Amino acid sequence: MRTQVGIIGAGPAGLILSKLLHDAGIDNVVLERRSADYVLGRVRAGVLERGTVDLLDRAGVSKRLHREGLIHRGIDIAFEGSRHRIDFADLTNGAVTIYGQTEITRDLMQALEARAWSPLYDAEALRVEDFGSRRPRVVFRRDGREEMLTCDFVAGCDGFHGVSRENLPPGALTTYERAYPFGWLGVLSETPPVSDELIYVNHERGFALCSMRSPTLSRYYVQCSLEDRVEDWPDERFWEELKLRLGPETASGLVTGPALEKSIATLRSFVAEPMRFGKLFLAGDAAHIVPPTGAKGLNLAAADVRCLADALIAFFRSGSTEMLDGYSDRCLARVWKAERFSWWMTSLLHLFPENGAFDRKLQLAELEYLVSSRAASTALAENYVGLPF
């Protein structure tokens, strides 16, 4: 099998890249080791920066997003029994859009299928060969047989555990990582959100987050121990703990219900440098992970494929390698700013087991400064809505 660009992974990053390249007349093949139903079943983030929405506009897959997405012009920061609004519109003239990653994936799938351009599902990439040559190859398994995809370029959009990064020779990468000593227990429920905008909670019992996917679908999180299991958290315990962290005033408006989905996520910061190796380019979680506190994961992946699509289109139209050569540096400059912001938000809002009374007082002092200083609030708002390209 022969194509111009081989794309490993049919998450939003891989599908956006495929659609942009297809619209530019560039042949590409997407390999996805899971089934289409499995990909659509994954529950993921849904806070979109303006730049991500613009990219989906460009890809021609944003009609339903604009019809159903929720525009949020601020967030609430809650601590010491009070809620404080960070007004994005006033501070930056910006906003974010709430629209689930699953829905983005669905829109992209349908748009590609309408062009008779569908990923190869149940096609597991096994290795990338000769990515330093003119014709790299992706060896994959489908229907129990090994097959080969020969390309001009390979885009590794296959996530943190994918084969793209793992295939690299020893010493090719420099990695940076921080693991956090707690997890997030998340619950999806068919209930109206407790607030029109997201609430980030710093509480002496631990962090909490009130989010949503739609006016009738809520997503809630509480900080939990890494020793916890989902079975340790029946619905009743979850809702009672969330109410304690929200406080009586906010909790009085909380509508509870059966959990449609419940899971525990670990938090980490991770960056792999560089993001290019000959004809192989890493994008999204294959190259970097951020804790979800700053809502940057999906947005960083979209920024990567925006840069990569522009670079590939420029190459196939003019033969210029300038943008391809600058891909890694350009992406990493944005990645590290997002890593800093996500680390800062995580450090500000969570209870760290190793911290004592002094650290707690410093955390509260920083929160007080954040909500009382326009400059500090603006810095948060600028990063949250998305830094300019």
Catalytic residue numbers, as ranges: 72, 200, 292, 296, 384
DSSP assignment of 75-124: EEEEETTEEEEEEHHHHHS--EEE--HHHHHHHHHHHHHHTT---BTTEE
CB 123 within 8 A of CB 14: no
Question: What span, in angstroms and rounded, lies between the C-alpha atoms of 328 and 377?
Answer: 31
Indicate if the alpha-carbon torsion angle 250, 255, 261, 262 is positive or negative: positive
Indicate if the alpha-carbon torsion angle 109, 110, 113, 115 is positive or negative: negative
DSSP E strands: which ranges in the chain? 5-8, 28-31, 47-48, 70-72, 74-79, 82-87, 96-98, 123-129, 137-142, 145-150, 153-156, 174-189, 199-202, 208-214, 217-224, 259-273, 276-277, 280-282, 288-289
CA atoms within 13 A on the CB side of 62: 16
Question: What span, in angstroms and rounded, lies between the C-alpha atoms of 69 and 62?
Answer: 10
CB 104 within 8 A of CB 12: yes
Question: What span, in angstroms and rounded, lies between the C-alpha atoms of 101 and 65?
Answer: 11
Which two structure tokens, joined as six digits, stand for 318?
């003019």
Q: Which helix (H) or strand (E) holds 309?
A: helix 297-318
Which two structure tokens, joined as six digits, stand for 1?
């099998």
Instruction: Give φ, ψ of 65 to 5 degrees.
Output: -55, -45
Which two structure tokens, joined as six digits, stand for 59?
């890809």
Question: What span, in angstroms and rounded, lies between the C-alpha atoms of 320 and 302?
Answer: 23
Burial 312-333 (b: 16+ CB within 10 A, else e): bbbbbeeeeeebbeebbebbbe
